[in-house]
Amino acid sequence: KAGVTQTPRYLIKTRGQQVTLSCSPISGHRSVSWYQQTPGQGLQFLFEYFSETQRNKGNFPGRFSGRQFSNSRSEMNVSTLELGDSALYLCASSGGTEPGNTIYFGEGSWLTVV
């Protein structure tokens, strides 16, 4: 069974540009969430989608957005990139809706903003 797949793995963008990151969850998983990881702030929750609906949102500016498609694949978008957006962006999926369900992470997309 394939794990959570994220693309691209590495990318470099210029300040002011926008970026779209893609995530394919584990087959059969309908919950997809996104996290940002930086050395200074650690792992922070961005948002979560279930059946194409956003169920939870973290404390990030509106420049960060996401969506989920009918096949559970998800994308997140960051517009007007800032240097501080340089981070590892992690996607995670879960097969159930209960809080105790195991959450599986992908290896992430490394974004560098220059």
Give the length of the chain.
114
Distance CA 20, CA 8 (A): 9
Residue 50 in contact with residue 97, Cβ under 8 Å? yes
User: 3-class SS at 33?
Assistant: strand
Residue 81 or 90 having the CB closest to other proteins: 90
Residue from the set 19, 35, 81, 111 that interacts with other proteins by CB under 8 A: 35
Closest CB to other proteins among 82 and 107?
107
Give residue 7's identity as a one-letter amino acid code.
T
One symbol per residue from 14 to 33: x for binding other proteins (CB under 8 A), - otherwise; what is it?
Answer: -----------------x-x
Task: Choose, by CB under 8 A, the member of 15, 55, 63, 67 that binds other proteins.
Answer: 55
Distance CA 111, CA 53 (A): 25
Binding-site ranges for other proteins (CB under 8 A): 3-4, 31, 33, 35, 42-45, 48, 50, 55-56, 58, 90, 92, 94, 97, 99-108
